[in-house]
Amino acid sequence: MEEFALSFWIYMGVMSVFVGGAMQKMLAAHIRAAPTLVAWLGATVLLERLCSLWLPGALLLALLGAACCLFSPQRRLPAEGKVLLITGCDSGFGKATAQRLDSLGFEVIASVLDLDGPGAGELRRTCSSHLTLVKMDITQHEDIQNVLACTKAKLGLRGLWGLVNNAGVCVNFGDAELSLMTTYRGCMEVNFFGTLNVTKTFLPLLRQAKGRIVTISSPSGEQPFPCLAAYGASKAALNLFINTLRHELGPWGVKVSIVLPSSFKTGQCTNFEYWEKQYKNLLQDVSPSLLEEYGEEYMLETKELFQTHAKTAREDLSPVINAITDALTVSHPKARYYAGPGVGLMYFIHTYLPTSFSDRFLQRLFVKKKVVPQALQRQLQQKRE
DSSP 8-class letter at 15:
H
Instruction: Give, in order, the Cα–Cα distances in Å from 202 to each of 139, 149, 283, 315.
Output: 15, 11, 41, 31
Question: Helix, strand, or coil here: 313?
Answer: coil
Q: Cα separation of 96 and 321, whole Å? A: 7
| The Cα angle at residue 25 between residues 19 and 27, in degrees rounded to 5 | 105
DSSP 8-class letter at 264:
B
Q: In this structure, are strands 83-86 and 162-165 parallel, antiparallel, or unpaired?
A: parallel
CB 219 within 8 A of CB 343: yes
Q: Could you tell me which residues are beta bridge partners of residue 256?
A: 213
Concerning whether 298 is annotated as a catalytic residue, the answer is: no
Amino acid at 124: R
Q: Which of 39, 347, 337, 302 is nearest to 179 (CA)?
A: 302
Q: Cα separation of 236 and 234, whole Å? A: 5
Q: Cα separation of 18 and 50, whole Å? A: 14
Strand runs labelled E in the chain: 83-86, 107-112, 132-135, 162-165, 212-216, 255-261, 336-339
DSSP 45-91: HHHHHHHHTT--HHHHHHHHHHHHHHHSPPPBPP-TT-EEEES--SS
**From 11, 184, 231, 294, active-site residue:** 231
Provide the annotated active-site residues: 231
